[in-house]
Amino acid sequence: MQEARQAFLVDTLKKLLGQDSPTGFTDGVVTAAETIARELGFAARRTNKGNLIITVPGREPGRKVGLCAHVDTLGLMVRSITADGMLMVTKVGGPLLPTLDGEYCRIYTRQGQVYTGTVLSLSPSVHVQDDAATRPRDEKNMAVRIDEKVHGKEDVEALGIAAGDYVCYDPKTVVTGSGFVKSRFLDDKASAACLLTLLWQMQQTGTRPRYESYFTLTVHEEVGHGGATLPTVDELLAVDMGCIGEDLSCTEYQVSICAKDNGGPYDYGMVSRLEKLAKDHGVAYAVDIYPHYGSDVGAAWRAGMDCRAALIGPGVHASHGMERTHLDALHATLDLAGLYLELA
């Protein structure tokens, strides 16, 4: 069972990561996730804002539970075109721009064309510019070089490229023989793959959660309002990346349980229950406080949802940069989410 679960998990994760989906440009990845859910026999629908809601019947009446992860990612958008035909960009979400220097990308026009390019510093050559190594890597000093024969702004405009077009950079996904998953956008497609794999597990084993559950994949988390229109539930468990680094105890091999982030503490009772479940069932976990973090729970609470809520997720190193986690962390996240749902 574990081997089959891992095969489905990895395949699903690769499918999600293979779809460009910066916030506001998520139809492709939602379609991929919806197809997977429907093929597993679960009812799925989209909201007006684009979230995907998958309904899972429970064994007992009386309560409603929500699990959510987000499939929107970081990205870039064309801001303007320079006189020599480069694309100046603005951030979608909060990518670490210095890590994008030299990354390949795709430019999607509103007419349906797709062009390739490279994100570069405006001082890209050590043989030419004195400040090639020292020039800031920020929105004012980085641009996209298009892989087309263009000599100026008019040539770029003739291609159909304009302000507001999305620029999507490569995830560069690799799964190593030692079990590491290296890729951009593990935040939060790793968690979304876990939720879809949990559906697969229920389908394979004939199990169901104790209470009616809504699995929601949100599409505006990276800009702060993904959870603002979630289904009304009594409890909400967000599944998003766990933080690794200074003053934190989580590793790439564990599921992280967040006690507090920028928005304040999560529900004390839920956090305590999740920690006890992990401890009692031998799930590798850590409890941490995230110093620079917000989740769909915060958006749901700010929108007025009256629910208890908590946050778990696989430990991810180098978030918003060149991320990495391990299959152990994904399995731990799956196990804890299953225990939370009281599958039987």
Catalytic residue ranges? 221
Q: Which residues contact 130 (CB under 8 A, 6 or more apart)?
A: none
**Residue found under tokens 């991810």:** 316
Q: What gap in Å lies between CA 158 and CA 113, rounded to an integer?
A: 12
Which class for 199: exposed (0-12), middle (13-18), buried (19 or more C-beta within 10 A)? buried
Side-chain-facing half-sphere of 207: CA atoms under 13 Å: 15
Q: Which residues contact 228 (CB under 8 A, 6 or more apart)?
A: 220, 299, 300, 302, 303
Q: What gap in Å lies between CA 231 and CA 234, rounded to an integer?
A: 10
Q: Which residues pair with 78 in a beta bridge?
A: 89
- Helix or strand or coil: residue 151? coil
**Residue found under tokens 């024969």:** 149
First to last CA, the chain: 16
Cβ-based neighbour number of residue 77 at 10 Å: 20
